[in-house]
Amino acid sequence: MSTTPLLQCSDVRKAFPKPDGGELLVLDGMNLELNPGQIVGLLGRSGSGKSTLLRLIAGLSEPSDGRLSYLGQPIYGPAAGIAMVFQSFALFPWLTVFENVALGLEAQRMPKAEIRKRSLAAIDLIGLDGFESAYPRELSGGMRQRVGFARALVVHPNILLMDEPFSALDVLTAETLRTDFLDLWSEGRMPIKGVILVTHNIEEAVLMCDRILVFGSNPGRILSEIKVALAQPRNRLDPSFRELVERIYVEMTARPKGVASVGRQERFPGLGIGSVMPPVSSNSLAGLVEAVAATPFNGTADLPKIASELHMEIDELFPVAETLQMMRFAELEGGDLKLTEDGLAFAQAELDERKRIFLRHLLTYVPLAAHIRRVLDERASHVARKSRFIDELEDFMNEDAAEQTLRAIIQWGRYAEAFAYQDDNAVFSLENPI
């Protein structure tokens, strides 16, 4: 194997234009190198730009700035030596397993006999023997993703890109597929030289990767790089494995550097009328507060532990935890979630008292909710159209994010009885019209 990197990204930046002429930065200062024989993991939550980076590497979209090169050559459009496995499998439902696998070779105009030979070999390798003439709809999720793998491997790529390939599968199937993949990889039976794996599952990253790049959001950037020196096959119960998982949790909950000296706000990041709110319901918020308050956590929960206790992946857990932090019901630090005094009080309280506490925190710490309430109070009619607030939000974010943010605020506002909202005519009001 040569020592030139398979893939290099330097100072890659990706931004989308906004309707008002500005731009929405989704990826900034991205530097990445993939060397032969490596599996590199891109770990982060949705919205951290990891999938965007993968699509840039795949040549499916182009960077706004910076350089991507494959084997020293700049990437323009999909390159012949880079193949991709998709989260939702992306199989053509009208083609059989064999036809799906052969499609990539057909596109390369390979001779018929060669296509047949290579396709059958790939199908054989990935354990799909006997399913050649089946249609995807006849297969289980795990078998479908095997087709996804065979289809990518058959073109003999140097780099295999995997976009959360196991996240649409059940736990058991995902584990089998991961193990099979790692076996083939370590035995060198696959025609690939390097792998980039996008995932939001911390354990999956530690299990499979040689290097993990931890992504942060707003804009998407690399927070840190973690080397995994454990020998394959790895054991999830191994103390050093657990230690790594814990360390990544700490990294992912670390406060962004540079915010620390802004005064009183510093402990609670991400405030302002233009922040995007996650689609978290008041039920989830109350549920997590209760879980942390109860034994065995008694007010302070270790994130990996509570994640496995509640069967939540970081993609589900983090938005809830961060919303609690934003409303100051809890603090996130060092991989722990610790309830504040009001958080504990909320956990103990009855429904009406809970609503009072929630209302106070909502109007104090969520500027958008306070803003809506203020507008309603100031108007003689006490009503305001939703479009008005959407317009305001779109100065800071795109249309979808604005809609999502307002939906979250509406849900919290209804729970707290801070204001009412009528979906039929998209109007906020103070009183609930019944």
Interface with other proteins (CB under 8 A): 55, 58-60, 62, 76-80, 82-84, 86-95, 103-104, 106-109, 135, 137, 151, 155, 424
Residue 187 burial (10 A CB sphere; 0-12, 13-18, 19+)? exposed
CA atoms within 13 A on the CB side of 127: 12
Tell me if residue 273 falls in helix, strand or coil: coil
Minimal distance in Å, beta carbon 107 to other proteins?
A: 5
Cα separation, 67 vs 61, in Å, equals: 13
Which C-beta is closer to other proteins: that of 135 or that of 241?
Answer: 135
CB of 143 to other proteins, least distance (A): 14
Would you give the distance in Å from CA 434 to the centre of its chain? 40
Gyration radius of the chain over CA positions: 24
Beta bridge partner(s), residue 111:
none
- Of 60 and 294, nearer to other proteins (C-beta) is 60
Rounded to a whole number of angstroms, the minimum distance from the CB of residue 328 to other proteins is 36
Residue 79: CB minimum distance to other proteins, A: 7
Nearer Cβ to other proteins (58/363): 58
Considering the complex, what minimum distance in angstroms separates the CB of residue 65 from other proteins?
Answer: 15
Q: Give the shortest CB-338-to-other proteins separation in angstroms.
A: 40
Q: Which is nearer to other proteins, 75 or 280 (CB)?
A: 75
CB of 403 to other proteins, least distance (A): 14
With a CB cutoff of 8 Å and minimum separation 6, the contacts of 320 are 278, 280, 284, 285, 288
CB-facing half-sphere around the CA of 161: CA atoms within 13 A: 24
Query: 99 vs 246, which CB is nearer to other proteins?
Result: 99
CA distances to 97, 136, 137, 138, 304 from 94, rounded to whole Å, are: 10, 8, 9, 12, 42
Give the nearest distance from C-beta 82 to other proteins in angstroms: 8
Q: At a CB cut-off of 8 Å and minimum separation 6, what does 164 contact? A: 51, 87, 198, 199, 200
CA distance 411 to 309: 26
Distant-in-sequence, close-in-space partners of 176: CB < 8 Å, separation ≥ 6: 142
Distance CA 61, CA 84 (A): 14
Which residue, 151 or 361, is less far from other proteins as judged by CB? 151
100 or 284, CB closer to other proteins?
A: 100
Nearer to other proteins, 77 or 188 (CB): 77
Task: Single out the residue of 304, 268, 282, 290 nearest to residue 339, CA to CA.
Answer: 290
The least CB distance from residue 424 to other proteins, in Å, is: 7
User: Could you tell me where the beta strands, DSSP code E, fall in 182-285?
Assistant: 194-199, 211-216, 221-227
Nearer to other proteins, 60 or 259 (CB): 60
Contact between residue 122 and residue 150 where contact means Cβ atoms under 8 Å apart:
yes
